[in-house]
Amino acid sequence: MIEEPRVVVGVNDTLSSLAALHRAVDEARARGAQLVPVAAWSGGTELRPVSELEYAAHERLATAFDQAFGGLPGDLTVLPLVVRDLPGPALTRIADRPGDLLVLGCGHRGRREPARQSSTVRHCLTHATCALLVVDETELLESLEAAVGLAPARVVITAR
């Protein structure tokens, strides 16, 4: 049995995650692959019951696609997953085929500081059994600026 290629992408509520989602959609289109967006969640207490956390993870997935594309891309097979686990272990367990591509956002950074690797990225770099692509949030910002014809943003400070 030949398995269809997949692009697995971690989704949370950060700008680097949106950048990863954009890149994952581009990669899935280029490869003719299924897109598997994953929202992982863990925990559960008396203050935040399991049902609320799972619902929030589903909402996080829907919101990410709404913000990035206005909904799910109609030209791709999208297989969204919400899993109860830490993000790193969940993503490496799901992206387990040699032909898979795992796409992650690199974590937050300022314009003048290097990106800090999240624990999810560190886990996936160590444990992934497939190709891994880590996307910087500036990739999304630059592509959006180019799409609307803006020059890349620069901060200019002048003394008076």
- What CA–CA distance (Å, rounded) separates 13 from 137? 12
Could you tell me which residue, 135 or 1, shows the higher pLDDT? 135
CATH 3.40.190.10 correct for 6-147: no
Nearest CA-CA partner of 58 in 72, 43, 39: 39
Q: What is the pLDDT of residue 156?
A: 47
| Sequence-separated (6 or more) residues with CB below 8 Å from residue 110 | none
pTM of this prediction exceeds 0.85:
no
For 7-41, write each residue's pLDDT tens digit.
999 999 899 999 999 999 999 999 999 999 999 99
Annotated domain spans of the chain: 6-147
Burial 84-107 (b: 16+ CB within 10 A, else e): eeebbbbbbebbeeeebbbbbbbb
Radius of gyration, CA atoms only, the chain: 17
